[in-house]
Structure 1
Amino acid sequence: MSALPLETQPDSVFGGLSKRLEDLKSSGLYREFTPCSYLAAEPGHAMHQGRRIQVWCTNDYLGMSQNPKVMEAQIASTRRHGTGNGGSRNIAGTSEAHVDLERRLASWHRASRALVFSSGYVANFETLSTLLAAVPEAVVFSDSLNHRSLIEGIRASGNPKHVFPHNDVRALEELLSRYDIERPKLIVFESVYSMDGDIAPIREICDLADRYNAMTYLDETHAIGVNGPTGAGICEEIGEHRPTFVQGVFGKAVGTTGGYVAGPDTALDYVRSHAPGFIFTTTIPRSSLDATRHSLDVIQSSEGGELRRALRENAARMRAALHAADIDFIDAESHLVPVLVPGGERVKRVSRRLLDEFGIYVQPINYPSVAKGGERFRVTVAPFRTQRQIEEFVRALRVCLDES
């Protein structure tokens, strides 16, 4: 077989992408990644290009990734079981820890079954795309601010869908009322929306689901570990257990890696048996799963309750400090503190100056994650943060905003 001619080599074939990348950069929407290596001995700090910096945008809400009990669990498991499982769940990759964790998650969410995936994104995409494709007549009703993983899972299924205005129960009911009561329906929404920090009207949506014979798929990603008496999320906090499916992750407040879906046994057994992203991918290592189990031990205990209380108190302290400094932010219901810095270029300038001059890293959030003009920082204030650190962060932010 002869070699490909020069003009068909990758640089030539993909040459048009260079222009698109330049357009992305000139529009201010090119994503910059900031390498930071966390320091377990100094929670909230990391090394960046040889400098010690503070990180104020991590999703490790409770600091569990640096919890000594969790770290020791992973180290001990690695020594005993090794660094990987060697295959997919189907081929020698299902450990006893998988089985135990899935049983535990199902019980936590009062569900018949739970299924662990390699990430929260994969959990959403594979579950929705697989189940919906199996019921092509099912109509999907999706909140307008749903995460990309939910959007893509719905889109990949090809099912008919409606996008309803964010948290608008009346609009959702109007859409549901258009369909016969026997028509299969699925309402897809989140409990805590990460960009605004607001919370869905879960009870009202479940009431509509009952009234119109619909199933519900609730993404509790940003509430797992953070809300509820044992950290099971907003549903546990408000005593609402009607959602058909509940999705959660380990990579945020739990401090490890992976995601899961809890729900009906038959539906999730079908996903287990048919979802390509579950069947054909290498599984999470046993050591990480053991760390997850120990993290849940902490989260579900009184120690976890103290961490949740401290997280909420620190979020309130941050809001008070921002208010005193006349910095615009969304006074959200959750632990998240969105600080508004309109302008794609401006939010990036402020972020860069905070890092370069003050050793503070907070990632700029811009389009398409938020609408143009709604650029912001999503600030998180972990339990270990001190009042002094909060005040220093706000002072630095005020300086950078004033001079940007």
Structure 2
Amino acid sequence: MYNDTFFHTLQHLKSTEAYRHFLEFSRSAGHFPLADFQNEKIEVWCSNDYLGMGQNQQVIDDFKASISRFGAGSGGSRNISGNTTAHVALEKRLADLYQRESALVFNNGYLANTESLSVLIGLFDNIKVYSDELNHRSIIEGLKKSKVEKYIFKHNDLKHLEIGLSLEPFERPKIIVFESIYSMDGDLAPVEEIVRLAKKYNALTFIDETHSFGVLGERGLGLVEALHVRDVDFIQGGFGKAIGTSGGFIVGDRDAVDCIRSLAPGFIFTTSLPPALLHATLTSINQVVASPERRNRLFQNVRHLKGALRRQNIDFIDAESHILPIIIPGLARIKAVSDQLLKQFKIYVQPINYPSVPRGQERFRVTVTPDHSIEQIERFAAALKNTLDLA
């Protein structure tokens, strides 16, 4: 009975094109974007390590030194022997950078969203949530945990958002939840306008800066910093993208963040991140904040990649961010293109399909980095053109 259930569930996933295939390879520090795959070198074109900080030598050295000093793990949850000086130092640094009263580190960005949102929403009677229709699954799960009234507004549609806000009394608690960069299309949220509406209709604001933290802004603090917006109530971010390590965080007012710290089960009952990892994370953040060099080189390469794709007559979504989606409809076709790129050209780019995107909107989510050379960019565009023409 049990095995039949497992078998039929997997068969259903495979029949509906929702079964996920994982490519196994090895990252090679100091050689990115090259990686080791079946005793060969391949180029990676879909990494979330946007700035290549995961192979930064100072980050690696500090990680090694911290492991030697503190050991491999934290030893417990934050309230039972796992609240190390590394955790406290990182949270203080984040709060200072954002000029907020408090910060809280989570084991990953997914938890930072689900736990923070579920607690914040649960604190208010009769609160109404306004959520962008393309918000990440972690946001959706956080909202599901509390059975409150939700208004899903059309993606980045300010008029639709304002219609929903205007239907409620000014005094009713409200929170608007949105992302800075939407990772499947690479487009940016109209942050200034959303904050203006929030003030007009007495709503809190919660922004997910996962894909912009480290990349946008004078110091790499995200879209809010880039736009000089100061009135977003809660900012969430992650370390697993541009910072090159792992973990997530939220910043905000002291009492609000303390409520999350005190009430979120996914925070309270989880072994805390290893202190060595957080020392490496702090090193990476400090390097990113101190110098715009790698951000500048990233966007130089983004511009060059867009030019190379145009010269090859390859259509792509020309968004403002560093994420470059290339729509290739049809699961069979995009998988064939991906397989051929890997087999013939040693280029790895992962197909994105349902349920991450709607059927018929399958795509490559291409991410060039500061470490891709001009020659590699030109070769990628030519290889993709060759493969698309044959698929």
* TM-score (norm: length of structure 1): 0.95
1:345 aligned residue: 332
Aligned counterpart for 1:398 among listed residues 376, 385, 389: 385
Aligned counterpart for 1:219 among listed residues 187, 208, 211: 208
1:354 lines up with 2:354 in the alignment: no
2:303 aligned residue: 316
Aligned counterpart for 2:271 among listed residues 275, 282, 301: 282
2:116 aligned residue: 127
Partners of 1:106 and 1:55 in 2: CA distance: 34
1:365 lines up with 2:341 in the alignment: no
RMSD: 1.0
Partners of 1:108 and 1:151 in 2: CA distance: 28
Which AA in structure 2 matches 1:319? K
Partners of 1:322 and 1:29 in 2: CA distance: 29
Secondary structure of the corresponding residue to residue 93 of structure 1: coil
1:66 aligned residue: 55
Aligned counterpart for 1:190 among listed residues 164, 179, 190: 179
Partners of 1:97 and 1:220 in 2: CA distance: 23
Q: How does 1:239-258 map to 2 (within 5 A)?
A: 239-258=228-247
CA deviations 1:36-57 (Å, max 9, x no partner) are 2100020111112222211110
Secondary structure of the corresponding residue to residue 171 of structure 2: coil
2:289 aligned residue: 300
Q: How many residue pairs are counted as aligned between the two chains?
A: 391
Secondary structure of the corresponding residue to residue 145 of structure 2: helix
Partners of 2:43 and 2:59 in 1: CA distance: 22
Partners of 2:25 and 2:152 in 1: CA distance: 37
1:327 aligned residue: 314
1:6 aligned residue: none
Contact 1:223 1:233 in 2 (8 A): yes
Contact 1:314 1:382 in 2 (8 A): yes
Which AA in structure 1 matches 2:86? A
Which AA in structure 1 matches 2:337? V
- Structure 2: which 5+ runs fail to align? none
Partners of 1:193 and 1:289 in 2: CA distance: 26
Partners of 2:39 and 2:173 in 1: CA distance: 56
1:384 lines up with 2:371 in the alignment: yes
Aligned counterpart for 1:111 among listed residues 82, 100, 106: 100
Q: CA deviation at 1:111?
A: 1.4
Aligned counterpart for 1:176 among listed residues 159, 165, 168: 165
Q: CA deviation at 1:110?
A: 2.0
Secondary structure of the corresponding residue to residue 24 of structure 1: helix
1:9 aligned residue: none
> Which portions of structure 1, spanning 4 or more consecutive aligned residues, are displaced by more than 2 angstroms?
26-29
Which AA in structure 2 matches 1:95? T
Q: CA deviation at 1:198?
A: 0.4
Q: CA deviation at 1:387?
A: 0.8
Which AA in structure 1 matches 2:341? L
Q: How does 1:36-55 map to 2 (within 5 A)?
A: 36-55=25-44
Aligned counterpart for 2:7 among listed residues 18, 24, 28: 18
Contact 1:251 1:257 in 2 (8 A): yes
Contact 1:192 1:199 in 2 (8 A): yes
Partners of 2:79 and 2:127 in 1: CA distance: 29
Which AA in structure 1 matches 2:342? L
Which AA in structure 1 matches 2:293? E
